[in-house]
Amino acid sequence: MNRTIRLSLVVLLLLTVTTGCWNLREPDQLAFILAAGLDLNEEGKLEITSQIAVPAAISSGQSPGGSGKKSFVVVSGTGKNVMDAGTNLQTQLPRSLFYAHRQSILIGERLARKGLGSLTDMFIRNPKSEMRSSILVVKDGLAKDVLAIEPLFDPYISTMLVREQVAVGLKPYYYRQFLADALCQATQPILPAVSVLPTKRYIYSGAAILNKDDNLKLVGYLNPKESFLASWIIGRQNSLTVTAPVGAGGDEITLNAKSLSKELQFVMQDPPSMYVMLKGAGFIVENNTKLNPAKDRDLNKIEHALSLSTQEAVQALVEKVQKQYKADVLGFGEYIHREHPYQWKELRSDWTTLFPRLRVTVKVELKVKDPGQTNSSIDSML
């Protein structure tokens, strides 16, 4: 009897401490979401679209866009909020939705203009949510149209969207950074934007400006060149290609600049002033002029022309966001908050009205480290 009781106690103890993987789900029970799209449909309802991997298509060696089985499926569902729409989407699938591999979140323009403020909660609260998802706005279109595009090089469009940002010199913009921008005191978020082409492809179309003081509503766009310059100022640009006319003839030189850096300096006066110093160095990738960068005189002329042209473009960008959008997407307020906290206390409450009046002086200094594989242009040698 005693032996039976002891044995029962041991079994009970094992059952207590050995919980096992009670919630384990095998991979063939899961639907791996690679990208999510949020739209406002024509009836004004929230529509969630998920791009879901079809592992069997990849393992069988089918190429993207080939005649075989597609590497993904696109499924949509509508609802009152993100989870409600997701629940309706789940009813169409025999596998449980799995969010941990999500690479991208796309926002359709119609929804972006209504505002994203009420939609951010699920992505923060849900422990299954992937915070390293890149987030983009679809300019003049719907998110689900981008997710339906047949990818060119990768099995999934979500992978291409992340690599696209790296290819144009940007640092990937993740959802966690979007939250940081939305929750900081002054900076207005700018999100990468893509557009769907009539050829069923997509193109990087700049950056979307959101107003966090008004439910994160879309207020406008920067074109691709403006977005690169804005990203340089806020430290999200790794490289930049600059083309400028040099000399009276108007012939052009193109520099691929890397080692980009920025320096801000704030002066408290009336009106407050901000000095922006941008520096970069790189190699010449095209020279259609008769200048020889191996000669100091010509090199100085080239560097001055490239720097001045870029400086004028940055100054125009600053004026655009100040006068047209009145949105501090350049992080000036956040810089003052961090570096001049006492002065920021005086400015914070009026920053929305002060930012458009902020006196901004821009200085750009570009250096040529390498003339490329030849000095003078081939045209000048002919």
Interval 8-19: pLDDT, tens: 776 666 666 555
Which bin fits 72, alpha (ψ -120 to 50), beta or left (φ > 0)? beta
**Predicted local confidence at residue 328, as pLDDT:** 94
pLDDT of residue 359: 95
* pLDDT tens per residue, range 38-58: 999 888 889 999 999 887 766
Which of 21-25, 217-221, 282-286 reaches the highest mean pLDDT? 217-221
Tokens of 183: 């929750």
Q: State the Cα–Cα distance between residues 187 and 211, nearest whole angstrom.
A: 9
Name the pTM for this structure.
Answer: 0.85
DSSP 199-246: TS-EEEEEEEEEEGGGTTEEEEEE-HHHHHHHHHHTT-BS-EEEEEE-
Task: State the amino acid at position 139 in one-letter form.
Answer: K
Q: What is the mean pLDDT of residues 348-371?
A: 92
pLDDT on residue 289: 85
pLDDT in tens, 220-232: 999 999 999 999 9
Note the pLDDT of residue 16.
Answer: 60
Place of tokens 């990849």: 58
